[in-house]
Amino acid sequence: MKTTKKIAKKVLIAHIYLAVVVLTGQVFAQTGAWTPTGSMSGPRRDHTATLLLDGKVLINRGTGGGAELYDSLTGTFSPTGPSLGGGFGQGSTATRLQDGRVLIVGGSPAEIYNPPTGTFSPAGNLNVARVAHTATLLGNGKVLIVGGLDLGGQQHIAAAELYDPVANTFTLAGFLNAGRFSHSATLLQDGRALIAGGEQITSPGFAISLSSAELYDPATGAFSPTGNLTQPRGGLSFTQAPLLNNGKVLIVGGETIQAAEIFDPATGAFSPTGSMSIARSALSATVLSNGQVLVAGGVITLPGGGPGTTNVVEIYDPVSGAFSPVASMIQARQQHTATLLPNGQVLVTGGFDFGALSDLSSAELFSPPAASVLTVAIDIKPGSFLNSINPRSRGKIPVAILTTDAFDATSVDPNTVRFGRNGTEASPVQSALEDVDGDGDIDMILHFNTQDTGIQRGDTSASLTGKSFGGQAIGGSDSVNTVGCR
């Protein structure tokens, strides 16, 4: 499935729309909070933002300004570098290597940023110069460079190459089954890389959006087709495809699209999930500390048909598959960056605003809402009505988390589960999935060392806490009858 449209070379490279419109947005219930922080040295969009090992964020390339660092402790930006690319380079990528250095590729010579010295140095030469590509850090420490657009904006690229940080060289690494640019690339938990969507040049001035996807396997060095997206996703800004904690991939954006979808590596298939409240592209999608995804800003279509910029923000919950509104950004923005900081906040920088018809230098911080706890049904000592427990016992206590119409117990990450007097004491020594209560649904059964639970004589209940693979906090309690304590 493909969508054909006319393009202009300068638009492809500059990632800017040529219309005068005003800001639009929706007013939602305020959840979470946005606060202003320091501003960058100058306005920029389509730049890179890379979290460094020391917690600072490297801002580089884009439409203007030199390289700079954001310090979350002071809330300020300060110059670093200078970058060898002069700070200009839309369609560039910045990838933090395993040793903490940063590889910058695209638009101008590849370079390496060294955080301890705050300096840039040349990297090896690319075999194929490109922008609007992707760069993915593989498990072996190398960086996979895929696809893109030639610097003249005339041809999409199928060639891939690998950057070796030890040798500081790029080597060719095969070819995509379908050359593409402005696509997404996501490293999967099994070490493969998912390449999805994007665009192809069909003739001068024309491009098509793609629904095809493929997988790169580092073990074989080959690209192989996988299932297609439910609809083509390309556009002037990259489709966002963050990896979820459950190993699946969320696909949002890519042109002005409201629907989202999920890629399941186990089946190689894409399937619909919940839709955003508004159709948008040029947005950001950031996985939060709790496993949910913050989707912010972007380009929208105004009632008159023209493009506008939105400040609307929502959160995707992998457990429910739904989007829910949170506090809107202070500033409407598109083509910005969003970076999860070590303290759990999200730093949003720069971008473009149609309302002001200008790039932005401002930045703001999102503080996630307090985590809500989902109450689940548990059964201590399944099959035992009195749930009798001898706190002095050296045995184990079985506890079941039950699947109900509202909750799937198989979504629980057993490594996060704790059980005891307050629900924080004991970790499970064993877990399994089985139908505990005979209702035909699969439940989770866990076993805990009795003396680790902190249960004492006279206690009448015990509690369990944990999280789902998607980051949803859970909690439940059941009655107990302590015996043998005299």
Reduce the secondary structure of the chain to three states and give it as a string.
CEEEEECCHHHHHHCCCCCCCCCCCCCCCCCCEEEEECCCCCCECCCEEEECCCCCEEEECECCCCCEEEECCCCEEEECCCCCCCCCECCCEEEECCCCCEEEEECEEEEEEECCCCEEEECCCCCCCCECCEEEECCCCCEEEECCECCCCCCECCEEEEEECCCCEEEEEEECCCCCECCEEEECCCCCEEEECCEEEEECCEEEEECCEEEEECCCCEEEEECCCCCCCCCCCCCECCECCCCCEEEECCCCEEEEEEEECCCCEEEEEEEEEEEEECCEEEECCCCCEEEEEEEEECCCCCEEEEEEEEEEECCCCEEEECCCCCCCCECCEEEECCCCCEEEECCEECCCCEEECCEEEEECCCCCEEECCEEECCCCCCCEECCCCCCEEEEEECCCCCCCHHHECHHHCEEECCCCCECCCEEEEECCCCCCCCEEEEEEEHHHCCCCCCCCEEEEEEEECCCCEEEEEEECEECCCC
- Of 72-76, 85-89, 203-207, 289-293, the poorest mean pLDDT is in 85-89
Confidence at residue 384, expressed as pLDDT on a 0 to 100 scale: 84
Confidence of residue 45 (pLDDT cuts 50, 70, 90): very high
pLDDT at 473: 86
Between 469 and 112, where is the model more confident?
112
pLDDT of residue 201: 93
Is the predicted pLDDT of residue 35 greater than 70, yes or no? yes
Q: Residue range 467-475: average pLDDT?
A: 84
pLDDT for the residue 16:
34
Percent of the chain residues topping a pLDDT of 70? 92
Residue 465, pLDDT > 90, answer: yes
Residues 444-456 pLDDT 10s: 999 999 999 999 9
96 band by pLDDT with thresholds 50, 70 and 90 = very high
Over range 458-485, report the average pLDDT: 88
Alpha carbon 51 to chain centroid distance? 14
> What Å distances lie between residue 120 and 41, 57, 60, 126, 256, CA to CA?
19, 15, 11, 17, 36
In DSSP terms, which residues pair with 473 in a beta bridge?
A: 373, 467
Q: How much is the pLDDT for 108? A: 66
- Please check the confidence at residue 13 and state whether its pLDDT lies above 70: no
**What average pLDDT score do residues 225-254 get?**
89
* Bridge pairing between strands 213-217 and 193-196: antiparallel
Mean pLDDT, range 198-226, rounded to an integer: 94
More confident residue, 394 or 15: 394
Is the pLDDT assigned to residue 382 strictly greater than 50? yes
Cβ-count burial 164-182 (b if 16+ within 10 Å, e if not): ebeeeebeebbebebbbbb
Mean pLDDT of the chain: 89
- Is the pLDDT score of 292 beyond 80? yes
Q: What are phi and psi of 383, to 5 degrees?
A: 90, -10
Predicted model pTM: 0.76
Residue count of the chain? 486
pLDDT at 15 over 80: no
Q: Where in the chain do CATH 2.60.40 domains reside?
A: 373-482
Task: Give the pLDDT of residue 1.
Answer: 41
Would you identify the CATH topology of the domain 2-367? Neuraminidase (2.120.10)
Judged against a pLDDT cut of 50, whether residue 329 lies above it is answered with yes
Nearest to 209, CA basis, from 145, 257, 267, 242: 257
Q: Vertex 286, ends 16 and 5: CA angle to 5°?
A: 35
User: pLDDT higher for 472 or 2?
Assistant: 472
From-to residues of CATH 2.120.10.80 in the chain:
2-367
In CATH, what number does 373-482 get? 2.60.40
Under 8 Å CB-to-CB from 27, ≥6 apart: which residues?
328
334-373: pLDDT as tens digits: 999 999 999 999 999 999 999 999 999 999 999 988 767 8
Residues with Cβ within 8 Å of residue 296, at least 6 apart in sequence: 283, 284, 286, 313, 329, 336, 338, 346, 348, 366
Q: Is the pLDDT of residue 401 over 60?
A: yes
More confident residue, 423 or 1: 423
